[in-house]
Amino acid sequence: MLDIVTLATRDAVALAGGPTYTIPTGRRDGLVSNSSVDLPGPSQPVSEILRFFRTIGLNKIDMVTLLGAHTVGVAHCSFFQSRVLDFRGTGRPDPTMDPKLVKKLFRLCNTSKPSTTLNNVPKTFLDQNTSFIVDNQYYNQILKKKGILKIDQELALDKLSAPIVARFANNGNAFRKSFAKSMVKMGNINVLVGDDGEIRKNCRVFNNPN
Ligand code: HEM
């Protein structure tokens, strides 16, 4: 099952115009499924996010590269609306966001409809320029103060990551090569081999649920 997810991701990246790359297969499936993994939040500083990436064997270049996956997909207002409605209790928007984008997102998120599930929450593209293409436009957008999540914008501003962002914004090929490399590296984290785990007979469930 894990191989299938990794292969499907590889194919989706290629179909969306991103790099093609070869991934090793043969992963076995785990016997534990834990939805409450401790992932960092989108408003944590770059240094904290980097600390997290290091704990899983990824470095600074991997971090900047993999966040480039935000070149596709969407974010719901709940993850960024404080940036446009009331940034850090100032009653004003985040000054690091382009004022035109602030206006657009304010209109999008400033609804009074209460919502219990993400399904009803408005959303916007993470890459406001080429939203369906895996390319380096994400980096150009964040250089123009058009990052949606705080972490996206901080990536362009923090001195830890800014030089890498500038390089990828300028050089689409450098991003493509790095993306292929870091995706393979991420896919090799904690791979189960030998007798560990199992090979699922049905993708959706453990072989013996008891
Ligand atoms: C630790 C760093 C990261 C943080 C804090 C983060 C945070 C987020 C958040 C808050 C969203 C919006 C979710 C929503 O509104 O439903 C999102 C979306 C997304 N993220 Fe990340 N992310 C991180 C790293 C990554 C990595 C490493 C990848 C892949 C290599 C990735 C790929 C995506 C994609 C493709 C989407 C769009 C999903 C969709 O359209 O449904 N992110 N991320």
Residues with C-beta less than 6 Å from any ligand 1 atom? 40, 42, 49, 66-67, 69-70, 72-76, 79, 118, 149, 151
Residues 40-51 have pLDDT tens digits of 999 999 999 999
Q: How far is the CA of 69 from the centre of ligand 1 (A)?
A: 7
Ligand 1 atom nearest to 149, measured from its CA: 10
Instruction: Please tell me the predicted confidence (pLDDT) of residue 88.
Output: 94
Tokens of residue 143, six digits: 């250089």
3-state secondary structure the chain: CHHHHHHHHHHHHHHCCCCCCCCCCCCCECCCCCCCCCCCCCCCCHHHHHHHHHHCCCCHHHHHHHHHHHHCCEEEHHHCHHHHHCHHHCCCCCCCCCHHHHHHHHHHHCCCCCCCCHHHCCEEECCCCCCCCCCCHHHHHHHCCCCCCHHHHHHHHCCCCHHHHHHHHHCHHHHHHHHHHHHHHHHCCCCCCCCCCECCCCCCCCCCCC
Instruction: Please tell me the predicted confidence (pLDDT) of residue 35.
Output: 79
Ligand 1 atom nearest to 39, measured from its CA: 1
The domain segmentation of the chain, as residue ranges, is: 75-125
- Residue closest by Cα to atom 25 of ligand 1: 67
Residues 67-78 have pLDDT tens digits of 999 999 999 999
- Residue closest by Cα to atom 17 of ligand 1: 75
Instruction: Please tell me the predicted confidence (pLDDT) of residue 43.
Output: 95
Instruction: Please tell me the predicted confidence (pLDDT) of residue 122.
Output: 95
Assess contact for 170 and 61: CB atoms under 8 A. Answer: no
Mean pLDDT of all residues in the chain?
94
Q: How far is the CA of 78 from the centre of ligand 1 (A)?
A: 13
Instruction: Please tell me the predicted confidence (pLDDT) of residue 208.
Output: 83
Ligand 1 atom nearest to 123, measured from its CA: 15
Instruction: Please tell me the predicted confidence (pLDDT) of residue 10.
Output: 97
Instruction: Please tell me the predicted confidence (pLDDT) of residue 112.
Output: 67
**Taking the model in full, what pTM does it have?**
0.94
Given a cut of 70, the residues of the chain with pLDDT beneath it are 112, 114, 209-210
